[in-house]
Structure 1
Amino acid sequence: MRGMLAATHPAPAAVVTALALVFAVGVALPAGRAVLVTAAVAAGQLSVGWSNDWLDAARDRRVGRADKPTVTGVVTPRMLRTGALTALAVCVVLSLATGVVAGLLHLAAVASAWSYNAWLKATPLSWLPYAAGFGLLPAFVVAATGDGRMVAGWTVGAAALLGVGAHVANVLPDLEDDRATGIRGLPHRLGRRASSVLAPLVLAAGSVVILAGPPGAVAPVSAGLTAGAVLLAVAAGVVGIRLTHSRAPFGLSMAVAALCVVQLVLAADAVAVVG
């Protein structure tokens, strides 16, 4: 069970699922519907995490990834395949139960994540599934209201930027191992130095969008979070340029991402607009 849990990529899965719940509360979904939306996202995240480690099992063994349960032998690729396909089936049922339009939006997001695991992670378009998956998340939640409201454009843009920045940052610790197994996504092609600058820059751009997007006066707390995000992004870029083998840009980028998530949580009540 511990191995299966570790293979879900629990931290990002928990963040995405929690964001879905926050959006559901922000658009005032009834409790039962909010639970349904959150459960659909959780099932989708399980399928994505397990499919990732299932499809990467041979690569992970080749480079000796001791953090992967398929390498340590705790779980087998077959177990992960069964879990991934089962979770995907549950995700389809739960997603469509929220409504046809909403369900298809969420399934498109999950499909984009599977496309990354199966193919796009090794191409220059490795960023695209992250942009699509994160951008579609608030659109799914708003569509699940069924009351004619539409997702605010700034929310989609900010979530997409958060996804792309998180992708580039998340790849940084494993660039060399990925290259050794033939993975050549956008960060690998740009190189460590450029990716160390790009990741926090994209994330900080997302913070600026969240600051400027919601209607009305700029919230002082959001302004403070954006200022912090920009400062951390600058620091990450400087370190990334000067110390190409430092892990600091990854940590600083994750800190910028955390600030963006907090901003999204605080602005969750503005993610929907009257159509």
Structure 2
Amino acid sequence: MVARRVVALVRAAHAAPAVAVTAFAGAYAWAVGAPAGLVAAAVLAGQLSIGWSNDWIDAARDRAVGRADKPVATGALSVSTVRAAALVALGVCVVLSALLGAAAAAVHLLTVASAWAYNARLKATAWSWLPYAFSFGLLPSVATLALDPPRLAPLVTGVAAALLGVGAHLANVLPDLEDDAATGVVGLPHRLGRRRTTTGAVVLLLAATAFVVLGTPGGATAPGIAALVVAAVLAATAAWTAARRPGRRYPFLAAIAVAAVTVTYLLTTA
């Protein structure tokens, strides 16, 4: 019984993006010489709070459309359990962020607050993309602001992260466009429609990789071109899947993979 609840909590936390964002943040912190373990722990706590708050806030909507992938909607978890988990994770996030220093803590908590705002209201508006741009764009600075002396991350890094965030947002929503619209969630992707959302996701993800490849010292090196080619293949397969099999989660997983390629290349130049 306990094991099932733990598994359900992991699923409700949106484990794949939470782990991916944590890994990227920790790797970047390590590359710039920041306390990688502490950065990763703070980011993971924040990501868990975001994932659990999403399922807590969306519980009624998820039940209404029969979301079998949401433990709260299937009855595997109660709303009160997910709400408590989200609040505890948020408290842990505050404590861990404070250990990074005032500037890093303030920026990290702003990124988490932005994501909570998306869950609570902005996801159903034309501004649904803004929390992704804001939170992902600032996330690299959590690591650099934990340095001595603190500093903001390079502009190239921040812009690429923001582009990746918005691209991932568009790709993530694709399988749920109809279910979301049926429960009153009409964000930017729903207003754009499936075709334009797919195109937008591909363009933004490739733009992020190209921005890093062309904007870092040394310009378009052979490894950079290779990274761009891999990103293009992933984006193309994501677009194909979105068009032919609209209910599949592959476009979002491909977006995470593009982010991994981009971050890996960025780390080699950091």
Question: TM-score normalized by structure 2?
Answer: 0.91
Secondary structure at 2:223's aligned position in 1?
helix
Distance, in Å, in 2 between the alignment partners of 1:202 and 1:257 is: 13
Q: Check 1:141–1:269 CA distance in 2 against 1; reply closer, same or farther (3 A cut).
A: farther
2:121 aligned partner, one-letter code? W
1:6 is aligned, of 11, 27, 33, to: 11
Q: Which piece of structure 1 moves more, 139-148 or 2-11?
A: 139-148
The amino acid of 1:27's aligned partner reads V
Instruction: Name the amino acid aligned to 2:209.
Output: S
Report whether the alignment pairs 1:50 with 2:65: no
Which residue of 25, 45, 51 corresponds with 2:30? 25
Q: 1:1-275 maps to which residues of 2 (within 5 A)?
A: 1-29=6-34, 33-233=35-235, 243=243, 246-247=245-246, 251=250, 254-255=253-254, 257-268=256-267, 270-271=269-270
How far apart, in 1, do the equivalents of 2:231 and 2:39 lie? 30
Give the drift of 1:96.
1.3
User: Structure 1: how far apart are the matches of 2:138 and 2:149?
Assistant: 18
- Structure 2: unaligned runs, 5 residues or longer: 1-5
In 1, Cα distance between the equivalents of 2:48 and 2:156?
28
User: 1:230, CA displacement in angstroms?
Assistant: 3.1
Give SS of 1:267's match: helix
Any idea what the Cα deviations from partners look like across 1:49-73, whole Å, max 9, x if unmatched? 0000000000000000011101221
> Residues 118-171 of structure 1: CA distance to partner in whole angstroms, max 9, x if unpaired?
000000000011111111110111101122443110000000000000000000
Check the 8 A contact 2:67/2:73 in 1, yes or no. yes
Q: Is the 8 A contact 1:60 1:71 kept in 2?
A: yes
Following superposition, the deviation at residue 246 of structure 1 comes to 3.1
Q: How many residues align?
A: 265
Distance 2:106 2:122 in 1: 21
Is the 8 Å Cα contact of residues 214 and 270 (structure 1) preserved in structure 2? yes
Does the Cα contact within 8 Å between 1:222 and 1:263 map onto a contact in 2? no
Cα 1:251/1:5, change in 2 over 3 Å: closer
Counterpart AA for 2:18:
A
Q: Report the AA paired with residue 60 of structure 1.
A: D
CA contact (8 A) 2:28 2:143 kept: yes
SS at match of 2:152: strand
**What amino acid is aligned across from residue 258 of structure 2 in structure 1?**
L
Aligned position for 2:3: none
When structure 1 is superposed on structure 2, of 250-259 and 61-70 the one drifting more is 250-259
Q: 1:76 to 1:236 in 2, by over 3 A?
A: closer
Amino acid at match of 1:98: L
CA contact (8 A) 1:102 1:141 kept: yes
Q: Residues 222-267 of structure 1: CA distance to partner in whole angstroms, max 9, x if unpaired?
A: 2112123235545655776xx4x63399635643541332221232
- Report the more deviating stretch, 230-239 or 47-56: 230-239
Ranked by relative contact order (alpha carbons within 8 Å, sequence separation 6 or more), the top structure is 1
RMSD: 2.0
